[in-house]
């Protein structure tokens, strides 16, 4: 197993319960990780929790908890997504982990040694919701457009700054040499324009006396690292950097999946930080859109948050995975409604895939025939689906698989095996079983449990009908 593949999501803040928007990101990343594993590659799939910063510190204080105890509690809730959403990540990093804290300190020292960190007094407007500074041009009616219900903080203190302005040409040259660095192209154009318009140095520390919940700045006991600076380093600390150079070099540079609100941080700020530390840029960053609910942005104040764990418990994990991968545009904002979800469940899962599997199993059982091969063997991943996954078009990849389901149904209808007997019946059923094997194999990165059930049901020489994969909703 020579080929390595490393993929990571962003790390969610542990100041709220996991919501369906983040489920989209981690299921997209999980599908890619499973796909590369299926190709025989050695895969590291990283997920975890971002646990420092003002937002988390305030939330812990509001709940009367020690920040570490608070983050311990919420980190468990995010790690529980592994079972609820059937995720295959093999690295779970917390930014409070001792190794990460040490790695962040070493990274800071490298940037400092390169002359990219300096101290100055400054004044700024700060959105705690974003954990980002805001310029007047970014505000709408004096408020952050992403967190309009939050008051902006006015910060005036002496902090350390990162020389982001130094990296304009370096970033633009890198973008020119790597035309597929950011997917989709529209987001690449957006970040290129942002960098072309000039970069401003930004604060990378906070006064410990005002905000103590952070990683200590090396050599300055009065300052802690700004949460974004610390959190981005998780992408390499999870690989064992800086101690395990062999593993780091085997897997880095890697692939990143992030939401559109993370565009600047992942594709410009983090890349400049890597260059400052003398490390390779990321391989590629895929930027997904937001999920809206009934046309509105997901917001606790609107009361329209959707718990992905509850959806998975009610409808099944693979039903949720299918909807998010097949019906949510990978790169644009898309709407989620339970009405549409149930319509898709009945129409495409129960009536489509579920009906085909039940139909063929029943015909095989009734025939009494024995079938020769294990359907999970001798399958090569479909090149057209592979191409779609390499382009992050999860929706189009699943359309190809559902076309195969329609073709398999059509084959049965045209050949009418219930009217056949002998060798001809055996031929039609064998072809149908082979089609289901191909469908299950190609489906396994998307709906792993469903694919496993199909392969288990059809691997025996005597095939028997079982319960419905997706019982119809009334």
For every residue of 247-274, DSSP letters joined together read HHHHH-S-EEEEEGGGHHIIIIIHHHHH
For every residue of 119-140, DSSP letters joined together read EEEEEEEEETTTTEEE-GGG-B
Backbone angles phi, psi at 43, to 5 degrees: -115, 135
pLDDT of res. 324: 98
Residue 411 lies in a domain: yes
Q: What pTM did the predictor assign?
A: 0.93
Least confident range of 82-91, 112-121, 141-150? 141-150
Residue 219 lies in a domain: no
Task: Read off the DSSP letter of residue 6.
Answer: E
Nearest to 110 by CA among 248, 230, 277: 277
Average pLDDT (155-176) is 96
Q: What is the pLDDT of residues 288-340, one digit of tens each?
A: 999 998 888 887 667 788 999 999 999 999 999 999 999 999 999 999 999 99
**In the chain, how many domains are there?**
1
Q: What is the pLDDT of residues 27-53, one digit of tens each?
A: 999 999 999 999 999 999 999 999 999
Nearest to 344 by CA among 317, 314, 329, 324: 324
Token pair for 59: 């939330």
Query: 17, 310 in Cβ contact below 8 A?
Result: no
Q: Which domain holds residue 451?
A: 338-474
Token pair for 259: 């939401």
Burial class (CB in 10 A: 0-12, 13-18, 19+), 303: exposed
* Domain CATH number, residue 422: 1.10.730.10
Quote the percentage of the chain above a pLDDT of 70: 97
Give the containing element (helix H, strand E) for 44. strand 42-49
Residue 209 lies in a domain: no
CB proximity list for 398: less than 8 A, separation 6 or greater: 322, 325, 326, 446
Query: 119, 158 in Cβ contact below 8 A?
Result: yes
How many other β-carbons are positioned within 10 Å of the β-carbon of residue 402? 17
SS3 284: strand
Q: What is the pLDDT of residues 339-350, one digit of tens each?
A: 999 999 999 999
Instruction: Sheet with 132-134: list strands edge to edge.
Output: 132-134, 117-127, 153-162, 202-203
Residue 234 lies in a domain: no
Q: What is the pLDDT of residues 386-421, one digit of tens each?
A: 999 999 999 999 999 999 999 999 999 999 999 999
Is residue 347 left, alpha or beta, with left meaning phi > 0 and alpha meaning psi from -120 to 50?
Answer: alpha
Residue 106 lies in a domain: no
Residue 291 lies in a domain: no
Q: What is the pLDDT of residues 419-433, one digit of tens each?
A: 999 999 999 999 999
**What CA–CA distance (Å, rounded) separates 128 from 213?**
14
In whole numbers, what is the pLDDT of the chain averaged over residues?
A: 94
- 378 or 188, higher pLDDT: 188
Q: Which residues pair with 140 in a beta bridge?
A: 143
Residue 365 lies in a domain: yes
Residue 123 lies in a domain: no
**What CA–CA distance (Å, rounded) separates 9 from 11?**
6
Nearest to 439 by CA among 398, 404, 388: 404
Nearest to 249 by CA among 280, 283, 284: 280
Instruction: Sheet with 216-217: list strands edge to edge.
Output: 205-207, 220-225, 216-217
Beta strands in 50-137 (DSSP E): 91-94, 117-127, 132-134
pLDDT of res. 1: 54
């Amino acid at each position: 197993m020579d080929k390595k593949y490393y993929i990571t999501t962003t790390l969610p803040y542990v100041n709220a319960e996991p919501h369906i928007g983040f489920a989209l990101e981690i299921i997209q990343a999980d599908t890619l990780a499973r796909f590369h594993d299926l190709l025989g590659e050695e895969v590291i799939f990283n997920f975890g929790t971002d646990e420092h910063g003002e937002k988390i510190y305030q939330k812990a204080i509001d709940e009367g908890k020690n920040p570490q105890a608070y983050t311990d509690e919420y980190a468990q809730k995010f790690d529980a997504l592994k079972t609820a959403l059937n995720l295959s990540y093999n690295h779970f990093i917390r930014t409070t982990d001792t190794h990460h804290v040490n790695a962040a300190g070493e990274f800071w020292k490298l940037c400092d040694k390169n002359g990219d960190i300096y101290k100055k007094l400054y004044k700024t407007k700060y959105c705690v919701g974003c954990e980002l500074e805001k310029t007047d041009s970014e505000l709408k009616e004096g408020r952050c457009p992403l967190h309009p219900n939050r008051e902006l903080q006015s910060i005036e203190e002496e902090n350390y700054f990162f020389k982001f302005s130094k990296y304009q040409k370096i970033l633009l040259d890198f973008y020119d040499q790597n035309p597929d660095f950011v997917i989709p192209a529209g987001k690449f154009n957006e970040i290129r324009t942002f960098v072309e318009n000039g970069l401003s140095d930004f604060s990378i520390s906070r006064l410990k006396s005002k905000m103590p919940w952070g990683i200590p700045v090396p050599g300055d006991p009065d300052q802690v690292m700004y949460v974004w600076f610390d959190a981005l380093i998780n992408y390499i600390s999870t690989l064992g950097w800086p101690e395990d150079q062999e593993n780091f070099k085997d897997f880095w540079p890697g692939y990143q999946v992030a939401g559109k609100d993370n565009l600047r941080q992942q594709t410009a700020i983090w890349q400049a930080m890597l260059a400052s530390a003398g490390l390779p840029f990321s391989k590629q960053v895929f930027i997904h859109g937001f999920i809206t609910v009934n046309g509105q942005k997901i917001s606790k104040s609107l009361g329209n948050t959707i718990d992905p764990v509850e959806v998975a418990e009610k409808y099944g994990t693979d039903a949720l995975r299918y909807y998010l991968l097949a019906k949510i545009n990978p790169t644009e904002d898309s709407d989620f409604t339970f009405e549409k979800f149930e319509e898709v469940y009945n129409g495409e899962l129960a009536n489509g895939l579920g009906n085909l599997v039940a139909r063929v199993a029943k015909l095989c059982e009734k025939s009494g025939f024995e079938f020769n091969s294990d359907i999970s063997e001798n399958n090569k991943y479909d090149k057209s689906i592979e191409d779609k996954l390499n382009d992050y078009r999860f929706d189009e990849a699943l359309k190809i698989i559902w076309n195969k389901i329609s073709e398999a149904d059509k084959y049965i209808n045209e050949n009418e095996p219930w009217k056949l007997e002998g060798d001809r019946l055996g031929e039609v059923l064998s072809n149908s079983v082979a089609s289901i094997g191909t469908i299950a194999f190609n489906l396994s990165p998307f709906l792993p449990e469903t694919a496993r059930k199909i392969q288990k049901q059809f691997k025996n020489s005597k095939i028997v009908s079982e319960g419905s994969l997706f019982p119809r909703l009334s």
